[in-house]
Amino acid sequence: MVTSHSAKSRAARIAPALILMTAALAALTSPAQASIISVDFQPNGPFDGRAPVNFTGVESQAAAADSVFAASNVWNILSIAPDPGSTTNPSFSGLKDSTGATTGVGVSFTGNIGSANDVPIDNTGSNGVENDYFLISVSTYSTTANYAITGLPANTQVALYLYAPNFSGSRGYQLTANGSTITVSSGSGGNALAFVTTSSSGSISGVWSTPGGNEGDFSGFQIAYGSSPVPEPATLALFGVALAGLGPLRRRR
C-alpha cells in the first residue's frame, strides 16, 4: 500500500494532539488517592507496670480487609490516664494523615473513660494497636460514651476499620455510626471493617457502648476517605490544548 505525502503529513500533525488528549484523559479519569487517618489509643503512662506500645508501620489485618489501608504507616498515638485513673471528655485535634501532614480531623468523647494495656499477646503485626486501649465499663467508668470524628469531607462514604484487643471473652464493644450499628468483638479476628457516610458537616458520630456487660475496650481505628476525581485546572487546560490542536486539522481536511 502506498501512502501519499498528504496523508503522512496529516498523521504527523495529528499525532501530537492525540498524545496530549490521551494524557489529559488519563489525568481526568485517574482516581483520587485516599487520605488515611490511623489512631492508636493507649495509656499515657505504665499500667500495672507495663509501658504502652506505640504501633508503627502498616497494620496487616486492616490491609487484608481493604487494600486502601496498605498505604498507611503514620499513626496518631492518643493517650489518657491509665486505670485506675480516668479522663472526662477527652478530645484530640489536628490528627496526621498517612503522609504525616496535619489535618483538620479530630476525635472526641463525652464520658468518663479509662485506659489500659496488656502483655503483648498478638505478634502478627498488630500488637502495638491491639495491646493498648481506651475503655468504658458497667462498673467503674461510663457505661456508654458519645464520640465524634470530625473534619472529614461532607456526605462522603469512608472506610472505617475498628480495633479491639485480642482478649478472649466478652470485652468487645459497639459503635453506632451515623445511624449504623457496628459490633467489634474482642479476641482473634474481632476487628471490624465498616463503610459509613459522613454527615453534612463532615462527621461520624454516635454512641460507644458495652453490650457484653463487661469492659468495652476500644484499641483504635483507621479511616480512609477521599473525594471523587475533580479535574485540576492544569489538566483541563491540557485537554483544551489537545482539542484546539485537532480543530484546524479537521478544517484543513
- Give pLDDT, residue 12: 52
pTM given for the model: 0.77
According to DSSP, the β-strands at 35-43 and 76-80 are: parallel
3-state DSSP helix/strand/coil percent for the chain, to nearest 5?
Answer: 25, 35, 45
How many domains would you assign to the chain? Answer: 1
Consecutive 10-residue averages of pLDDT for the chain (253 residues)? 50 48 42 83 94 90 93 92 95 96 97 89 68 90 96 97 85 94 86 96 97 88 73 43 48 45
- Note whether residue 115 is domain-resident: yes
Domain ranges, residue 53: 35-225
**204-216 core/surface letters (b: 16 or more CB in 10 A; e: else):** bbbebbbebebbb
Nearest alpha carbon to residue 75 among 115, 36, 107: 36
Nearest alpha carbon to residue 20 among 248, 250, 244: 244
- Note whether residue 2 is domain-resident: no
- Note whether residue 211 is domain-resident: yes
- Give pLDDT, residue 180: 95
> Which grid coordinates are listed for 63?
490491609
> Which residue type occupies 206?
G
Residue linked to cell 471523587 = 228
- Give pLDDT, residue 242: 46
- Give pLDDT, residue 126: 65
- Note whether residue 233 is domain-resident: no
Q: How far apart are the C-alpha atoms of 102 and 108, rounded to whole Å?
A: 17
Residue linked to cell 479537521 = 250
Contact 20, 241 (CB under 8 A): yes
- Give pLDDT, residue 186: 85
Residue linked to cell 456526605 = 155
Domain CATH for 108: 2.60.120
Contacts of 49 (CB under 8 A, 6+ apart): none
Q: Three-class SS of residue 44?
A: coil
What DSSP assignment string belongs to 185-236?
Answer: -SSTT--EEEEEE--TTS-EEEEEE-TTSS-EEE-EEEEEE-PPP---HHHH
Peptide bond into 229 cis (omega under 30): no
- Note whether residue 97 is domain-resident: yes
Contact 61, 127 (CB under 8 A): no
Contact 21, 28 (CB under 8 A): no
- Note whether residue 61 is domain-resident: yes
- Note whether residue 20 is domain-resident: no
